[in-house]
Amino acid sequence: MVDHKLFDFFRKNKQQLSKSDEEQMGGFMIVGLGNPGKDYQKNRHNVGFMAIDKIAHEFGIENKKVKSKAIIMEGKKDNKKIILVKPQTFMNLSGSAVASLVRFFKISPENLIVIHDDLDLPPLSIRLRPGGGAGGQKGVASIIQNLGTQQFNRVRIGIGRPPGRMDAADYVLQNFPKQEEKELPFLFDTITKAVESILESGIEIAMNKFNGENNIDR
């Protein structure tokens, strides 16, 4: 069920909210997309889950629990309330878990960050985006449908296009090749820094810092 009234409230009253009001009303939610289970653990499609694990470690947020068909971890980063989320509904149904948690924690769309794989970007690159369509990513499409808005922040992680005539659905469910797997720690370091930049300065400033052609620190 889409809660339009909740988002309308935040849009109309955003400028009137103090910092303490914003913290009390939910803080920031960072969602990584993937599929649950060991069979999918190292798949390209699960790079969002992997990023959440790295962010949790770097932020010192480790208290896992299950709520609304998702693994969540709550903590603070620089006095900001942070909720880390890994939906356990499988990729195509991610929106039901995310929408339920957004309503429960009263998260403003501007404070929602979704991390996901993207076939249209070069492997192991990232792009930040403040909204827009799903671009064929079914987990993002499910979130848009369930929230009733496209206006939430994205961290898009490039996995490249499948070779030859390989089906995209088969490609995303393959593990990263060994050479790319070696580069993943650098990728996740950059993603963590990008998320920190969004939290500190907002999406527009973070985009200026991290949307260059060669944006992975090695």
Task: Name the pairing type of β-strands 28-32 and 80-87.
Answer: parallel
How many CB atoms are closer than 10 A to CB 16?
7
Q: Is 45 a catalytic residue?
A: yes
Instruction: Supply φ then ψ for residue 108, to 5 degrees.
Output: -70, 140
202 token code pair: 């907002």
**In the block, which residue shows the tokens 């996740």?**
188
Spatial separation of the C-alpha atoms in residues 164 and 14, rounded to whole Å = 48
Under DSSP, the state recorded for 54 is H
Please, which residues have CB within 8 angstroms of residue 72's CB and are 6 or more apart in sequence? 64, 65, 66, 83, 84, 85, 86, 101
Residue 134: burial class (beta carbons within 10 Å; 0-12, 13-18, 19+): middle
Helices then strands (H, E): number in the chain? 8, 7
> 3-state DSSP call for residue 144?
helix
**Which residues are annotated as catalytic?**
45
